[in-house]
Structure 1
């Protein structure tokens, strides 16, 4: 994945590479609804057989990873490689980028501990996992999966995502 910095404000990804990513993704991409004003957003892309499957938006402040938002869509049936999204793998990726060398096993919450992830203002039931001060949430809407990971102190902010598309103003 190639990471391309967004602007210093309004703290969402922007620019020609972001616009190209949105056009190629042909769908909704989740971003934080209200990122911290001092954060910088970077975005990354992952493809399978030339088909864009994942878009990450990573929020940074003073060189530290703060939150990671991922949008995943299915690949066409004829694709040779079918990517697999797991919430456990997503959280482990966040933790690895955050600096932990050897994260202990993830603990899954009870089924009753499902969380609400607000997607464009609409609460959607999400799966949540935690690990020693880190969390990850994911929800599927239609065929897309939206996920967010971060440290526990940012959990409230992370529950609110909004969508960007090639046709929405940024």
Structure 2
């Protein structure tokens, strides 16, 4: 199984600044900045060239992830399991890791995506830093009866 984790592109700041809470109604309405829109388009063009037609795409209900997903130009499903603050296990259950054959793209938030990465790669830290707009492509494989997670690539908007 290939799992592609895509952090939403750069978004506007929370209107309440430091007083705002991740996942509150105002947070969910935050839109991409002009720079974020360019990041999303750039990453989507790269990703679209790599993905087979049958890939499933899931996005958080937050406006910034919806805009990021829309840049890909493919059908996607909006799932509450990907809201800000989601549990990494909920993400893995949603995508059926590691049993599904077709690639799955998840467009979501930090720290959840970084926690998924840290868990799958067995990193000593509880989460992995992930730049806005970045894609981490992970692959599950069976190697002599043992499940392994490979890091296929990491792409950032600045490197595409």
Higher relative contact order (CA 8 A, sep 6+): 2
Q: Which has the higher strand share?
A: 1
- TM-score, structure 2 length as denominator? 0.27
Q: Which has the higher helix share?
A: 2
